[in-house]
Structure 1
Amino acid sequence: MQAANTNAAEPAVAVGPREYVTVLVGEAMFGLAIERVHDVFVPSGVTGVPLAPREIVGLINLRGRVVTALCLRRRLGLPDRAPGAACMAIGLEQGAETFALVTDGVGEVLKLGADTSEPVPINLDARWRDLATAVHRLDGRLLVILDIGALLAFGESLAA
């Protein structure tokens, strides 16, 4: 079980307007802090990594850098997308490492304030709750803000 998120760069509830890049996984919509997003691209040439955790899709050459590709679907405990289905990737950095977060799609950039922000609901699936910092209610949809640090933390949660 992971401890509560305490990443100072990504507060649990926004105090002022913040911008998020929205990503789609099935019907769910997630937000990533725009300051952590470096690239948006179509992943290609993925090289598998033997014995890697299930969440690791493989390695990708991103402008001359070898980056680890992580499947957001798998990280959230969701079934794989259909073979051949289109996908997009978000380039993220964590420490000195670069990662490609593979998603079903990338939406728009939203600037959101504290008026739509709420703490992570206690009834949200534990896998999602451990990776989220807040939620925003938007015109009948829920935007789950992901803690990029927790999302990219490779440890016991990936071995399960």
Structure 2
Amino acid sequence: MFSEPRPPQGPDRGETPVLQFVGFRLADEDYAIAITKIQEIILMKPITRLPQSPPFIEGLINLRGSVIPIVNLRKRFGLVARELDEETRTIVVNVHDKTVGCIVDAVTQVMRINRDQIQPPPLGVAAGAYQYLAGLARLDDRLLILLDIEKVFQPEETAAAVP
């Protein structure tokens, strides 16, 4: 007599229609990472260099008793290096059950983006960069590059970088 309940349809079907991201600048481009992947954002700290590490790994820092690897996202993406300044920040993220710090030029804002504003990256994007992208979003007159931070770091890289 009673039928099985049907799964909800529309915006209440369990998917969040609005996602939150932390925006940052890197080589004059706007990027963002899902806020759920971010542990915290910190000022630059003294970095202990590691011999024979990949060029994009700057070294290690002590973050309240935890030693974490620091990755320069400019180097990771093959962008031109620049001097660190008062705007430079480290975004501490959780990837592959590890904590990693990512050096960025500046953190810009926390933003809410509707899921339907996110577009897949175009097929013409270089193969190397394509693998890191979660999508693209238009905000006003800017194009925002949404990173899939899990894909920026391979599990073996984060495992090898963490002591």
Q: TM-score range by the shorter chain?
A: 0.7 to 0.9
Instruction: Tell me if 1:63 matches 2:64.
Output: yes
Higher helix share: 2
1:21 aligns with 22
Query: How many residues are treated as equivalent by the alignment?
Result: 142
TM-score by length of 1: 0.82
Change (3 A) 1:104 1:123: same
Rg larger in 1 or in 2?
2
1:43 aligns with 44
3-state secondary structure, aligned to 1:124: coil
Where in structure 2 are the equivalents of 1:1-160 lying within 5 Å?
A: 16-82=17-83, 84-86=84-86, 87-153=88-154
TM-score by length of 2: 0.80
Q: Is the 8 A contact 2:136 2:146 kept in 1?
A: yes
| Segments ≥4 residues shifted beyond 6 Å | none
Task: For 1:80, give the aligned amino acid.
Answer: A
Relative CO higher for 1 or 2, CA cutoff 8 Å, sep ≥ 6? 1
Identity value in percent: 28
Partner Cα separation in structure 2 for residue 31 and residue 79 of structure 1: 19
- In the TM superposition, what is the alpha-carbon distance from 1:85 to its structure 2 partner? 3.0
3-state secondary structure, aligned to 1:44: coil
Deviations along 1:93-142, whole A, 9 cap, x unmatched?
Answer: 12332100110011111100133211111122333211001100112211
Q: Is the 8 A contact 1:43 1:60 kept in 2?
A: no
Structure 1 portions without partners, runs of 5+: 1-13
